[in-house]
Amino acid sequence: MKKITSKLTKPSYLILFSILIGITVTSAYALTITLGADKVIVTGDLDLTGTSSVDDDIIGFDALDAEGVGGFTRSLIWDESENRFVFNGEVSVSSLNVVGSADINSILDSTDDIGISGQILSSTGSGTDWIASSGGGTVTSVASGTGLLGGPITSSGALSVNPSVVPFLSNSNTFSGGINTFSGNMQVTGDRLNVDGRVGVLGETAVDDDTLGFDSATEGGYTESLMWDEVPGEFVFSDDLNVSGNIIVGGFLNYGSPIILPLVSDAVTATKSYHTIAAETGTSDTLDTINGGTTGDIIIIKPDTGDTITIDVTGNILLENGSPLVLSFDDFAGFLYDGSTWLEVFRASPAA
């Protein structure tokens, strides 16, 4: 091995070694170059800064060629104006990580084939191969069908919904003709839903219960509701019904079964229009006060089985003749509440 020390003043000068074999050259810039039979090993830093900060720096490969770039058949160039590396020749890498952008003139497959026009690069599992594209594409235009606007599109553009055909629910809309079916829930967040016509609440079958709900939803469906009870075939209101007009009853006015109210200190609290009054102790007691009720309420009371209840006028009950009323067996009496006093409306003592 022969060692040569070079006192280079500019590290960008190109040193061409074409025949030297087995020689080590050491420069003043701590660069050691070892030339072997088929390779050059650089053990220091190779600094290509060029003669100025705006020129292009070149690493050349193969023999000199006047037709090659920078005098070489193949080269790696730092293009100062484009601020990028330029490879003059093919590049074969096991993996490539591009941080910025890359201009690639050609890509080879695993067999170094560049492919032909129209082919795509596909993985074979062990490498890559250029294959014919399976999709040619035959769409030349896109028309706007029913409910759409913007077509036909032959190159680029956008389709939009035609609001005259497909209504936006955020706008005021008029639905006419046909039946509009919602498979999910429809929620109205405003203060009203105006319907010019009929509203049908249809269940899934002809024998189920249909409910019109009000207020926020609860586990049972709604806080308040109007339900059509298929069996026994009647409307059920979950709360009070306030009617400003007349109520016309074509059948019976049914108060349902009476609820028993045990007396407590000669008083009871009414919860419906039909009650049975039970003695507090024993089988005889006195009723002088009925709590609860609003103006206009009607109540019918009768004694519990086997009890005798005397209605007195010392509380908020006003009897027809001002004298106590004794109810026993099947006797009953009816009262109307005027806001402060229960006024006797009728009494009856059916024959035993």
Distance between CA 350 and CA 330 in Å, rounded?
6
Domains of the chain: 1-47 (no CATH), 56-95 (no CATH), 197-241 (no CATH), 259-348 (2.60.120)
328: its two tokens: 């026993």
Beta-carbon contacts of 341 under 8 Å, excluding residues fewer than 6 positions away, are 316, 317, 318
What's the rounded Cα separation, in Å, for the pair 112 and 98?
Answer: 21
For residue 288, the model assigns a pLDDT of: 95
Beta bridge partners of 137: none
Q: What is the mean pLDDT of residues 104-118?
A: 76
* Largest CA-CA distance found in the chain, in angstroms, rounded: 145
Neighbouring C-beta atoms of residue 24, cutoff 10 Å? 16
Q: Which residues, 6+ apart, have CB-to-CB distance to 235 below 8 Å?
A: 226, 227, 228, 229
| pLDDT tens digit sequence for 304-324 | 999 999 999 999 999 988 899
**Taking 70 as the threshold, does the pLDDT of residue 135 lie above it?**
no
Over residues 21-53, the pLDDT tens digits come to 334 444 444 445 555 555 556 665 666 555 556
Model pLDDT, residue 315 = 92
Q: Residue 339: which region, alpha, beta or left (left: phi > 0; alpha: psi -120 to 50)?
A: left
Look at residue 19 and tell me whether its pLDDT is greater than 80. no
Residue 226: count of CB within 10 angstroms of its CB: 17
Contacting residues for 206 by C-beta, under 8 A, at least 6 apart: none
Name the residue among 267, 259, 260, 316 with its Cα closest to residue 287.
267
Which range is least confidently modeled, 154-163, 254-263, 276-285, 288-297?
154-163
What's the pLDDT at 21?
Answer: 36
Alpha carbons 352 and 347: distance in angstroms, whole number: 15
108 pLDDT more than 50? yes
Distance CA 225, CA 236 (A): 8
Q: Could you tell me the pTM of the whole model?
A: 0.42
Please give the C-alpha separations between residue 14 and each of 8, 59, 73, 186, 326, in angstroms, as whole numbers. Answer: 11, 9, 15, 81, 132
What was the pLDDT predicted at 24? 42
Select from 49, 53, 57, 44 the least CA-distant residue to 10: 49
Task: Write out pLDDT tens, residues 179-222.
Answer: 666 666 666 676 677 777 676 666 556 566 777 777 665 555 67
